[in-house]
Amino acid sequence: MNVGLIGAGAMGAPMARRLLAAGHALHVWARRPETVAPLVAAGAVAHPTAAAVGAAAAVVFTVVTAGRDVVAVTLGDTGLVHGLARGSVVVDCSTIDPDTARDVADRLAAHGIAFLDAPVSGGSPGAEAGTLSMMVGGDADALARVRPLLDVVAATIVHIGPSGAGQTAKACNQLVLTVAIAGIAEAMALAEASGVDLDAVVDVLSHGLSASRMLDVFGRKMAAGRFDAGVDVRLHHKDAQIVIDCAAAARAPVPAAALASQAYAALDGRSGRRRDSAAVLELLRDLRRADAD
Amino acid sequence: MQVGFVGLGALGQPLALNLVAAGHTAACWARRPEQMRPLLDAGATACTSAADVAAHAEVVVTCVADATDLEQVVLGRDGIADGAAPGTTLVDHGTGSPTVARVIASALAAVGVHMLDAPVSGSAADARARQLVVMVGGEADVFERMRPVLGCSATHVRRVGESGAGQVARACDQIASNVMLEAVAEALHLAARSGLDPARVRDALAGGYAWSRMLERHAGSMLEGRHSGGCHARLHAKDLNHVLHSAHALGLALPLTALVTQHFNALVGSGDGERDGAALVTVLQRMGRA
């Protein structure tokens, strides 16, 4: 079927490739056309605007960075709303704040367009393998209609509740992993300062009560000293702020998440090349280095 | 001087009354007209909008809840910008965002209106006692001209830099004072849970390096379980969240501020948002309760 996708980044591109591989006709748009060139080479059709993608497809995935990007591609001057027919569905896989998700859903509903907030967890490898975990907020009927398409990219699909509920679940997800990364980094820093081999510690921890996906991924990166962009620290910084904002709105204290978020803030503010979130360990090392600046 | 007021809340009202008492001619407007009463009784003229206030004033003083409200009353429909003649000066005493202060200042500069961001540190009681501290951002010559207005409720008035600098200084003020407040709460909590008389510990601390205005002001209320009268916890939470947003935009870590904000958030969530900052100690007490 005709499917649209906007936002062919680290997550969007592998999702797009899976949709193509499943035999769907894929329609894409990007602010910078070179972004979608590899997809076009693989058979996707590039359009001049998001609205044009909407006119060509009844279901459109959006996988962009921030809440304002979602608003722009859906409701902007040349946004999807100007192309999509009544009865079509937008599946937003971006991680944004629940308020914006509810607002966009309301405004699209006025045009007879369903909007599902459907953020995913699992990273680029999960997207490549089609094993993402997807948490969905919005209309259950709309979800039922697009479910066969979602199955192409996600292995776990959970309908959490009404609009915004998917993003709230994602905020909970990001809360756990941003705190976990900070905890793992502290464990690594302690091991290192005590002269204990990091690989050995990661190995033994991964068989005990500290076993976690984050330990598998970030513990190993930290032990190997691989701090280059895998998960750009700027994204975790953005997500951590969404967690804090959700907590303020819900009047629910999140002290550990608040403290962890400041490590991402510090790394985000550093100059130089992009860092992976594993660099929280570097931050801790620098804290005990007298000449750090 | 002809002074106009917009925003006659807990803090705005004493600020305005002090200016009237100092002999300035006043005009005012408030969304809720009953808030104008004390000022009208003192001889001020009621106006029909923020624009109307601006049309009647050489200096417009604002003291509204936050940056969003400020944008509304200055640049919104029937706002101050609609009524102010070139040469008018806006003095904003509200606590808000440096970015918004700069945006408003430059929008006003385009129509010949000057602006000072002049947030204050201190409570409504401090305002009545003319003991506030005012931190000012804006042009130096405008600041000098406005000294009689800025100094009316304050013991200290300091220009810290160009537009927005006053709000940055106010954010710094909130960081330092709220972290201090948490420290006082933790110290007294430890003293009490160790079986000491926390009042004696308070007195001992007050004589040494742990002295601070927050200790002086709030330790007593913490000990007596009196948590009202000061700035509401929900306002602390709101302001600190704004500080953290500024830090987020700069990529700046403020770990203790982040933590204290969550303790205020806990107070708001437990229904204690109307209690004052001294209620921070109850968050610690609850953590230790089964």
Which of A175, A239, A246, A262 should one mutate to test binding to chain B, selecting the residue with the greatest count of B CBs within 10 A? A262
Question: How far is B146 from chain A, CA to nearest CA, in Å?
Answer: 37
Question: How far is A249 from chain B, CA to nearest CA, in Å?
Answer: 9
Name the percent of chain B lying above pLDDT 70.
100
Predicted pLDDT at A37? 94
More confident residue, A293 or B205: B205
Predicted pLDDT at A291? 58
Q: How many CB pairs under 8 A join A and B?
A: 62
pLDDT band, residue B290 (cuts 50/70/90) = low
Cβ atoms B135, B96 nearer than 8 A: no
User: CA B252 to CA B254: how far, in whole Å?
Assistant: 7
Cβ atoms B45, B56 nearer than 8 A: yes
- In this predicted structure, the answer to whether residue A293 has a pLDDT above a threshold of 70 is no
Cβ atoms B92, B69 nearer than 8 A: no
Give me the domains of chain B, ranges plus CATH numbers: 2-162 (3.40.50.720), 169-287 (1.10.1040.10)
**Tens digits of residue pLDDT in A92-106:** 999 999 999 999 999
Predicted pLDDT at A83? 97
Nearest-CB residue to B252 (from A241, A258, A265): A265
Q: Which residues of A touch B250 (CB under 8 A)?
A: 269
Nearest alpha-carbon partner for B159 in B175, B177, B142, B173? B142
ipTM above 0.85, yes or no: no
Q: Average the pLDDT over each of A221-230, B41-50, B52-61, B139-148 and give the range with the smallest value.
A: A221-230
- Count of other CB atoms within 10 angstroms of residue A84: 28
Name the percent of chain B lying above pLDDT 90.
73
Does A78 touch chain B if contact means CB atoms closer than 8 Å?
Answer: no
Burial class for A82, CB neighbours closer than 10 Å (0-12, 13-18, 19+): middle
Question: How far is A232 from chain B, CA to nearest CA, in Å?
Answer: 14
Question: What residue in B sits closest to A238 (Cα-Cα)?
Answer: B248
Predicted pLDDT at B190? 87
Question: How far is A272 from chain B, CA to nearest CA, in Å?
Answer: 13
Mean pLDDT (whole number) for A244-253: 90
Q: Average the pLDDT over each of A2-6, A143-147, A185-189, B78-82 and give the range with the smallest value.
A: A185-189
Mean pLDDT (whole number) for A31-40: 91
Place of tokens 């913490």: B222
Does A68 touch chain B if contact means CB atoms closer than 8 Å?
Answer: no
**Tens digits of residue pLDDT in A69-78:** 999 999 999 9
User: CA B64 to CA B9: how far, in whole Å?
Assistant: 7
Give Cα separations from A257 to A73, A235, A243, B181, B217 (angstroms). 30, 15, 8, 21, 30
Nearest alpha-carbon partner for B170 in B23, B67, B283, B28? B67
Question: Which residues 6+ apart lie within 8 Å of A291 measured at CB?
Answer: none
Mean pLDDT (whole number) for A157-178: 93
> Are the Cβ atoms of B269 and A252 closer than 8 angstroms?
yes
pLDDT band, residue B289 (cuts 50/70/90) = confident
- Count of other CB atoms within 10 angstroms of residue B228: 11
Predicted pLDDT at A209? 86
**Tens digits of residue pLDDT in B46-81:** 999 999 999 999 999 999 988 899 999 999 999 999
- In this predicted structure, the answer to whether residue B272 has a pLDDT above a threshold of 80 is yes
**Tens digits of residue pLDDT in B218-257:** 999 999 888 887 888 999 999 999 999 989 988 899 999 9
More confident residue, A13 or A207: A13
Predicted pLDDT at B229? 78
Predicted pLDDT at A292? 44
Report the sign of the C-alpha dihedral through residues A220, A224, A230, A234, in that order.
positive
Q: Which residues of A touch B258 (CB under 8 A)?
A: 244, 258-259, 261-262
> Are the Cβ atoms of B251 and A265 closer than 8 angstroms?
yes
Give Cα separations from B69 to B73, B156, B210 (angstroms). 6, 26, 38
Give me the domains of chain A, ranges plus CATH numbers: 2-162 (3.40.50.720), 168-287 (1.10.1040.10)
Nearest-CB residue to A255 (from B245, B262, B268): B262
